[in-house]
Each structure stands twice: as C-alpha cells, then as structure tokens.
Amino acid sequence: MNCSKHTLFKSILLSTLFCVTAFAQHFNLELEETGESTLFIFSTDITSLDVGDEVGLFDSSGTIDTLGTTGSLLVGTGVWTGSQLEVTAIGAVDLSDFGGPIVPGYNAGNTMS
C-alpha cells in the first residue's frame, strides 16, 4: 500500500471509529420487559442537550432484584438526535402475593430523575 492509500485508509478508519464512539450508548439497560411501562417524551424544544447526548431515566427507589430490594435503578435510556425522543421506562411487577415472581423496574409513584 503506498503512502497516500495508507493515509486515506487511516483517515477513514479513524472517522469510522469516531462516529461509532460518538454515537455509542454508554447506559446499559439490563432490565427485561415486564409488561409495565411509562412513556416519557422529550420534545424538540429542549436546548440543554446536544446531538448524541444520552438520556437515562433512573428510579432512586426502584425494585432492583427478584427479592423486592429497592435502590437506584436505570429503567430507560435513549440518545438525543435533535428531534423528539421517546424513552420507555420499564416498570416493576410484583406478583409474589399470588405465588408469582417479582420482576425489577421502576415503582409506580416514584419520582424519576
């Protein structure tokens, strides 16, 4: 590979890596769908976000495990593109009174941040 082709290849590779890194999500939502959810809509009027910014929805007292323990929990995530963003928050389900499972998620009535 001659010098100009090598330089072009490096430029394309670096540009690609930058784009992948710039738009990669860093929040890892590790919850399974529960059937309970709330839709949060972020309108285009928002001026404090830049394209590529991540939005994470946290419940500071969400159900974090199958034992019903509560604590801070990421319940929804999205990436701002400059247009309306819809983020679905995953709600907890507690069927333990009926012999069923407790499934992690936000708890109804809690404040999201």
The predicted-structure confidence for 26-42, as pLDDT tens digits, reads as follows: 889 999 999 999 999 99
Better pLDDT: 83 or 26: 83
**How does pLDDT run across 31-74, given as a tens digit for each residue?**
999 999 999 999 999 889 999 999 999 999 999 999 999 999 99
Q: How many CB atoms lie within 10 A of CB 73?
A: 24
- State the average pLDDT for the chain: 83
pTM for the model: 0.75
Burial class (CB in 10 A: 0-12, 13-18, 19+), 111: exposed
Are the C-beta atoms of 112 and 41 separated by less than 8 Å? no
